Chain A
Amino acid sequence: MADINCPMCGESNPPELEVCQHCQARLKPLVPEDNEFPLDLPEEELPDWLSSLREDELPEIQPRPDDETLDWMASTDAASDPTLNQSSEIPEDDPEWLSNLRAAEPEIQLPQKDYDTSPPISNQDQDDPDWLLELRQRQEQEGGSSETGKPAEDTGDFMERIQDLQDNEVEAAGETSDQPEEAVLASLDAEDQPAEPSEDTSRDWLAGLSDEAQDLFQESAQSAEESPDWLAELGDSASETIQEPAQPAEESPDWLGDLADSASETIQEPAQPAEESPEWLAELGDSTPETIQEPVQPGYEPFVEIQQPVAEDSISSLLEETPAETTEDTPDWLPQAESSAEKTVLGQVVARQEEIDALLEDQPKASQGVDAESPDLPKKPGFVDTGSLPSWLVDLKRSEPSIPSVTPQTPALVSEEDSSKFSFQSDETEIGLTPAELPSWLSEETLITEEADELIYEAEESEASPEITPEIAPADLPTWVETMRPDVQEISATDEDAQTGAQETAGPLSGLRGVLPAEPEIVRFTKPPLYSIKLDVTENQNVNAALFEELIASESETLTPKRQIEALSQRILRLAIASLLFLSVLVPVLTESTSVASPSAATIPPETQQFFSLVNEFTSEISVLIAFDYQPGLSGEMNTAAAAVIDHLLLKGAQIATISTSPTGPALAANSLATTQPSHDYITQKLYRNLGFIAGGTSALRNLADNPREAVPINVLEGEELRSVWDMPPLQEIHTLHDFSLITVITDDPNTARAWIEQVQPTLDGTPLTLIISAQAEPLVRPYFETSPKQVEGIVTGILGAASYELLTGRTNLARAQWDAFSMGLGITVIVILAGGFASLATSILSQRQPKRSEIQK
């Protein structure tokens, strides 16, 4: 089964598909069963575009089964086209539109098959009318013509087939004719043939009118890509169709030859024997010899009188008279197309006659006859002295310019047989369709054709009886001619649309411009428009973008190398300073140097002086409560600071009780006394009392101040008896804290010192409270010594206080041993701090000057 070409993209598709597999266009249009369009109309009654479509699709479209086609169509189908014989293979589910199209296709082929094929006729004799059978039989008898066996699809150009047929006819006539000059004259008169009211010719040019328009559309569609201006193409194609009928004289049919003979005889009558002309022409010649043989007057212009009415007048009359007479029933496209074709065709009439003149000049005999007898006569073939013509012919030429206007495009050079064929074509059309099936405009056109036939019949009668010359008034022009007259304004508008509109690339309208789209724009699948992705960026925006990019790039850059350099330098500096300080401390320690002078008496702090005075004032055994409230990390400083004081107390015979508000305090107390006072038996014999740890912070101190025995309920094993510490010396007499002779707090924390001052000192009731503190606690504790009355009677601060205290006691201890290291380390520290301060100052000054220099340079 043949594939179906997509009407949109032209690609072939399997027949069972309803949509194109390439472009998804619908292959089978949604046409209702009762199709409004008479697709099975004969070719003459169909639109040209549809006729061309049928011709194009003939090899591919299969006809409807015989039972669904018309009888006479079936007969022609089966015989004419081998491809159509395969119609039996058509599936029953064939779409309706395709069946209609198949049914209509043979009708299009009918005119061709009539010339080409005869065998099918025998198959359908009983269904065909008699005249058709006769025609076919006569065609068979003529047989042997080359067109008989020619496939229908090979004869695509209808005009070419007609031309071939005419050639055959002319050749046949040429063999029997001994007067070629008559043929030349026949061709000469062929231009004026439509003016002759002949039935055959009238039908012939009528058929040729639509055929030409059809051919024009076909050619324009085929050459759409090569020539975008379809109007130019249309004009060219029309000129070609016009050129085709412009056959040489020997190709003209007999009837035209007769007519030409009559005309030539009127011109060449003196040279022509009278017996060679027809009788009516002979009579006519006899009646008008003088007018022709009269010498031509000087101002006489025969073309003005004859040629212009024939050509130019007919064109102008066509262009001016027809627009208002366009019938409403006629489709818009038909008069436009045909009128455009006529316009272009008529525009070639003058040129065509000139070409015919050239042909006449080339004909030796004709030219000899004309030139010899009347050298002054005009060479235009259309030149005929009106006086030599019958009056009806003159009147017809002048009164019916529209009929001759279409003459050049009609393949009018046919014989009577051919004309009968053409008449058969017309008759067949009428046979194939009933008036009820025809659209109104076509029905009207049919009527017009009948009117034209009547006119032709009258012309023939007038030809037979020259005396009767019924004049056809201009108002009596056939209405069908008026309906087919092109509308100039409409043509121009159509031309504009055709030139500016989109060109169809596929489908039946391929090559045409300005036509309505076959499908809405929304269902067309086209490539999406490509938009440029290149940004239109200004120069300023580029600069800003570059700056922004640099900013981002700088953010993403790592400054690790620079930081490493700085860290390395700082680390080196730190190591250098640390090494310097370490060495400054280590060297005195390793050398056990005592070269650095101890603090002088003038530099002894007053709190240390007062502390010493206070202790030094004790003359009897005293009980001293020493609180070891410092952290183990600062035990070195605190032990050094407390060593001189405890030593002094022990020298004074003080009985010591230790206590601590820190859990590590009791251990530190034992360790401190053991390590710093190894020379005192009181310590080595552990005669002092370690009250241990009292929990509760400030509250415990307050409780201790109020009721020391309850705050520290410690029992110690003395011998085999467990006794309370408060029952053992030196605590036997101690009931409250003010029972102690002296309370000394060794602490590195100013808060601890303040807690002792705030919670215990107010309850001491005259018992002095002294502090041995770290150097870091002195700034915050010293105000308690500055108050008046003094809350703290004496303070020993760090190594400096201990060294001063040792200086006061005159006994060297840990403070003096560490004094050199302390002095060296402290001195180096001061130097490093000063050096660092100066370096920082210099750096800041230089950094401030550099911007100024850079500003000055700028």
Chain B
Amino acid sequence: MNLLDADAIELLGSIIAFVFTLIVLLYAFGDNPLFRLAIHIFIGVAAGYAGGVAWHAVIQPHLVQPLLNLGNSQTSFTELSLRLLLVALMLTKISPRIATLGNPATAYLVGIGAATAIGGAIQGTILPFTSGSGGIFQVEAIQSVLSGATPGGIVAVFELVLVDGTVILIGTIATLIYFNFGARSLPNQTPERNRIIASIAWLGQVFIAITFGVLFAGVYIASLNAMIERLFFLWNLLTTFLLGSG
């Protein structure tokens, strides 16, 4: 079998993956040098791969190619000069003495990134969620149920109104009130929350706990899926080599 053959490379990669999978799984019995070795290899390979990708997907197409094809590139000279200037300023971060020269490039990147994130958050999250909160009670669905277009009767209306809408409304309000830590201070007494606020905050705490529980369950499921996939990989590889089936 030719080592340069795709199948041979794939088989070698599968063997390496098999070994490293076992080494990582040994971490279940505690930290060990093999696990550390595997981690170091993964980080090194990922960094090298990222560097290659950065060159291949960023530097070469966005800087080298335009410079090489300065006349034929779609990129103008001004734009290219501005890119070069920002790159040069960013490279000054290598030396501590001239690192301040790279601040404009950093400011440019951070500013653009923050502006983009804020704009995207407002446009993609806050405004849609604010406008969508008015439909939590699903008025149209309720009207449809009441008109008889949608089956379910009063039970469906009760479910849509009381369960979904009310739970969402109460959960949202209770969670927001939980983060209100204002309290009235009395003489010779410890500051205490208003009893109503305290009770609603307790309810919001329940919703937050459920949310974190769901997130943990999702993490656990993701990890369980990863383990299952690895076990299948190992088993398939073993069966391929030992039984010759594939």
Could you list which residues of chain A lie within 8 angstroms of chain B, going by C-beta atoms?
578, 585-586, 589-590, 632-637, 639-640, 663-664, 666-667, 692-699, 702, 710, 713-715, 748, 754-755, 757-759, 761-762, 774-780, 783-784, 786-789, 791, 798-800, 814, 817-818, 821-822, 825-826, 829
Judging by beta carbons under 8 Å apart, are B215 and A776 in contact? yes
Minimum Cβ distance to chain B for residue A443 (Å): 97
Judging by beta carbons under 8 Å apart, are A791 and B128 in contact? yes
Contact of A663 among B53, B112, B218 (CB under 8 A): B53
Judging by beta carbons under 8 Å apart, are A818 and B113 in contact? no
Judging by beta carbons under 8 Å apart, are B53 and A637 in contact? no
8 Å CB contacts to A: which residues of B127-150?
Answer: 128-129, 131-132, 135
CA distance A590 to B239 in the complex (A): 10
Contact of A636 among B56, B214, B230 (CB under 8 A): B230
Residue of A nearest to B232 (CB): A589
**Using Cβ atoms and an 8 Å threshold, which residues of chain A touch B124?**
754, 757-759, 761-762, 791
CA distance A826 to B228 in the complex (A): 11
Judging by beta carbons under 8 Å apart, are A787 and B128 in contact? yes
Q: Is the CB of B229 closer than 8 A to any CB of chain A?
A: yes
CA distance A858 to B124 in the complex (A): 66
Judging by beta carbons under 8 Å apart, are A755 and B128 in contact? no
Judging by beta carbons under 8 Å apart, are B65 and A713 in contact? yes
Judging by beta carbons under 8 Å apart, are A762 and B123 in contact? yes
Segment of B95-103, B151-159, B185-193, B219-227 engaged in the interface with chain A: B219-227
Judging by beta carbons under 8 Å apart, are A776 and B113 in contact? no
Judging by beta carbons under 8 Å apart, are B116 and A748 in contact? no
Minimum Cβ distance to chain A for residue B121 (Å): 6
Judging by beta carbons under 8 Å apart, are A787 and B219 in contact? no
CA distance A787 to B126 in the complex (A): 11
* Interface mask (B47-89 → A, CB under 8 Å = 1, otherwise 0): 0011001101110011001000000001000000000000000
Minimum Cβ distance to chain B for residue A746 (Å): 13
**Using Cβ atoms and an 8 Å threshold, which residues of chain B touch A636?**
225-226, 228-230, 233
**Using Cβ atoms and an 8 Å threshold, which residues of chain A touch B62?**
713
Minimum Cβ distance to chain B for residue A589 (Å): 4
Residue of A nearest to B28 (CB): A578
Could you list which residues of chain B lie within 8 angstroms of chain A, going by C-beta atoms?
28, 46, 49-50, 53-54, 56-58, 61-62, 65, 74, 109, 112-113, 116-117, 120-121, 123-125, 128-129, 131-132, 135, 211, 214-215, 217-222, 224-233, 235
CA distance A759 to B225 in the complex (A): 30
Judging by beta carbons under 8 Å apart, are A698 and B117 in contact? yes
CA distance A400 to B112 in the complex (A): 139
**Using Cβ atoms and an 8 Å threshold, which residues of chain A touch B46?**
632, 663-664
Judging by beta carbons under 8 Å apart, are A787 and B225 in contact? no
Judging by beta carbons under 8 Å apart, are B220 and A829 in contact? yes
Judging by beta carbons under 8 Å apart, are A585 and B57 in contact? no
CB-defined A-B contacts under 8 Å, sample of 16: A586-B231, A639-B229, A666-B53, A695-B57, A696-B113, A713-B65, A758-B120, A774-B218, A775-B217, A775-B225, A779-B214, A784-B125, A798-B225, A799-B221, A799-B225, A822-B225
Give chain A's interface secondary structure class.
helix
**Using Cβ atoms and an 8 Å threshold, which residues of chain A touch B220?**
829
Judging by beta carbons under 8 Å apart, are B57 and A775 in contact? no
CA distance A778 to B220 in the complex (A): 13
Minimum Cβ distance to chain A for residue B208 (Å): 12
**Using Cβ atoms and an 8 Å threshold, which residues of chain B touch A664?**
46, 49-50, 53
Judging by beta carbons under 8 Å apart, are B49 and A667 in contact? yes
**Using Cβ atoms and an 8 Å threshold, which residues of chain A touch B232?**
589, 817-818, 821
Q: A589-B228, A639-B229, A699-B112 are in contact. List 16 more A-B contacts (CB 8 A).
A: A636-B225, A636-B230, A640-B229, A666-B57, A699-B109, A702-B116, A754-B125, A758-B124, A759-B120, A774-B222, A775-B219, A776-B215, A776-B219, A779-B214, A791-B124, A817-B232
Count A/B pairs, Cβ under 8 Å.
156
CA distance A185 to B123 in the complex (A): 155
Residue of A nearest to B73 (CB): A713
Judging by beta carbons under 8 Å apart, are A777 and B224 in contact? no
Judging by beta carbons under 8 Å apart, are A826 and B222 in contact? no
**Using Cβ atoms and an 8 Å threshold, which residues of chain A touch B227?**
585, 825
Minimum Cβ distance to chain A for residue B49 (Å): 7
Minimum Cβ distance to chain B for residue A815 (Å): 10
Judging by beta carbons under 8 Å apart, are A702 and B120 in contact? yes
CA distance A692 to B54 in the complex (A): 10
Judging by beta carbons under 8 Å apart, are B57 and A777 in contact? no
CA distance A799 to B226 in the complex (A): 10
Minimum Cβ distance to chain A for residue B245 (Å): 11
Judging by beta carbons under 8 Å apart, are B231 and A585 in contact? yes
Judging by beta carbons under 8 Å apart, are B218 and A777 in contact? yes
Judging by beta carbons under 8 Å apart, are B235 and A778 in contact? no
Centre residue among B54, B65, B116, B220 by max chain A CB count within 10 A: B116
Judging by beta carbons under 8 Å apart, are A590 and B222 in contact? no
Judging by beta carbons under 8 Å apart, are A779 and B218 in contact? yes
CA distance A699 to B120 in the complex (A): 10
Contact of A698 among B116, B125, B225, B228 (CB under 8 A): B116
**Using Cβ atoms and an 8 Å threshold, which residues of chain A touch B235?**
589-590
Q: Are A826 and B49 CB-contacts (below 8 A) given A758-B120, A776-B215, A779-B218?
A: no
**Using Cβ atoms and an 8 Å threshold, which residues of chain B touch A697?**
113
Judging by beta carbons under 8 Å apart, are B228 and A585 in contact? yes
CA distance A635 to B221 in the complex (A): 13
CA distance A667 to B53 in the complex (A): 10
Judging by beta carbons under 8 Å apart, are A783 and B28 in contact? no
Q: Are A633 and B61 CB-contacts (below 8 A) given A586-B231, A758-B121, A774-B218?
A: no
Judging by beta carbons under 8 Å apart, are A788 and B132 in contact? yes
Judging by beta carbons under 8 Å apart, are B56 and A778 in contact? no
CA distance A666 to B55 in the complex (A): 14
CA distance A826 to B227 in the complex (A): 12
The 7 closest A-B pairs by CB, nearest first: A636-B229, A758-B124, A758-B120, A776-B218, A637-B225, A787-B132, A775-B221
**Using Cβ atoms and an 8 Å threshold, which residues of chain A touch B225?**
634, 636-637, 640, 775, 798-799, 818, 822
CA distance A755 to B116 in the complex (A): 10
**Using Cβ atoms and an 8 Å threshold, which residues of chain B touch A774?**
218, 222
**Using Cβ atoms and an 8 Å threshold, which residues of chain A touch B214?**
779
CA distance A560 to B226 in the complex (A): 37
Q: Are A826 and B224 CB-contacts (below 8 A) given A636-B229, A699-B116?
A: yes
Residue of A nearest to B227 (CB): A585
Judging by beta carbons under 8 Å apart, are A755 and B54 in contact? no
